[in-house]
Chains A and B, each alone.
Chain A
């Protein structure tokens, strides 16, 4: 029901952003920091969801796009002494370029082969990070000093290590990407992406170059994930090879499945849920992954469409 309620849809999304803004002033220090991290990573999940949820392409290699942004921003600051805005742009550009190249190659396949090919490329990326440890710091990583993480805009300077500045920066990125993905999925382009997911052959017979559309989606997805990685490096001051490992290709898939694939707010909800389940259970037991696993199994059994997907199915059909 795409055109049924645009006002309601935009009000909901602006409301979520306003709520996150307000939370900055009420959350205790620890949770304020956790929320900043969750919002930065929810951007990663949103980028993943654009490709997985809307186009139906399951990639197992998105860690490479996240870490392309992470290293694109981190290394230019660390080695070249670039400022924060330039480094951020460099990170996003690295991710978009990498996504273009990987997309051109990987989109020659589909289904299981696409999963394997993306995973293999991500492994190559991971091994390259380790191989060039002299520049990347390898598995030890690099710490980006506080002095390089200060942004001067006009006369004012913002220190990204300050909790409130960090929170607001993460929120700003989250808000922009949320509204951009909402605009994409409501656009003509978004309609074509969903059509490809539903029936690619039929979409071709309606005059669409499905490969070109999928490539555009891979690049958009890669750029968004790279924006998340670049922000992560600049906000939290650390780049390391674990972010390029297979674990960071699986995590966005889990966040999106939990929150609800092909829903605009699902990635945030999934990331939030997973972080807090891990956070709360690890306070009680060292076997917290067991409890996370049980939570995941229960969700798959009782809400296979994820949290937002189930809400849309049962109560709010107009959710985008």
Chain B
């Protein structure tokens, strides 16, 4: 099977800091991949390079056989790379409906979906359990619901690769359970790349885990392998082992 997304020697410097340092990475279609690592390890910078929010200093990004290294973010979205923000950035002054209508009408314009804006919006809202709040201003939603709206917007883009940047941050435990079910559902027709600090969520969801440290990939493997990896335990999981 050919990977959906690969990077070769991907680097990004901020002044003297090498936030992402020569990363070779491959993501298989249909998998749920978690990216973990201590704060400042370069996780968010790495996914920002994938989504096109920032440009790499060197290296290449290939999505589905097309080199997208220099492609602007909005064009990557049209190819099917969707990104949901770490800091909730829904359109606070627009209704829930309009927030989701924006990605839906984009896929209609691109010819990736057919039908009415309303149908697509309601489908995404049903899936995230927000359908009864369609007319509410996004600013009036609870924090947990705003996070769900953020996911609904990502979903409505009909992504082939959905990048979720710390999606469970600030959610209550009960909300996290629903969220895990939701991401499993999404993974049936999209590849999911997930930055996450909540280890139980990572261990339950991820098919494979990539561990970042100081801008480099420290280890990669199944949840079981990562849990047993001595280097990872030292760098990240807390070096309390024997």
Contact = CB atoms under 8 A, between A and B. Distances in A.
A107 interface: no
B236 interface: no
B83 to A, nearest CB: 5
A195 B102 CA distance: 8
A287 interface: no
B192 to A, nearest CB: 17
Contacts of B117: 188
Contacts of A210: 74
Interface stretch (B60-68, B92-100, B207-215): B92-100
Contacts of A148: none
Q: Which of A202, A206, A210 has the most CB of B within 10 A?
A: A206
Contacts of B74: 204-210
Contacts of B83: 205
Interface stretch (A1-9, A39-47, A171-179, A245-253): A1-9
B118 interface: yes
Interface residues of B, number: 32
Interface stretch (B12-20, B28-36, B103-111, B167-175): B103-111
B91 A205 contact: no
B146 interface: no
Contacts of A191: 98, 101-102, 105
Interface in A193-217: 194-195, 198-199, 201-210
A1 to B, nearest CB: 6
A107 to B, nearest CB: 15
A192 interface: yes
B101 A206 contact: no
B51 interface: yes
Interface size class of A (residues with CB under 8 A): 20 to 34
Q: Which of A3, A4, A205 has the most CB of B within 10 A?
A: A205
A2 B95 contact: yes
Given A2-B95, A191-B101, A202-B91, A208 B118 contact: no
Contacts of B97: 2-3
Interface in B56-98: 72-75, 77-78, 82-83, 85, 89-95, 97-98
A33 B82 CA distance: 56
B91 A207 contact: no
Given A2-B95, A195-B91, A198-B91, A207 B85 contact: no
A1 B89 contact: no
A205 B77 contact: yes
A208 B106 contact: yes
Given A191-B98, A195-B94, A204-B74, 17 more contacts: A1-B95, A3-B97, A3-B118, A191-B102, A194-B94, A195-B102, A199-B89, A201-B53, A201-B89, A202-B90, A205-B83, A206-B77, A206-B106, A207-B78, A207-B110, A207-B157, A209-B74
Interface of A: 1-4, 188, 191-192, 194-195, 198-199, 201-210
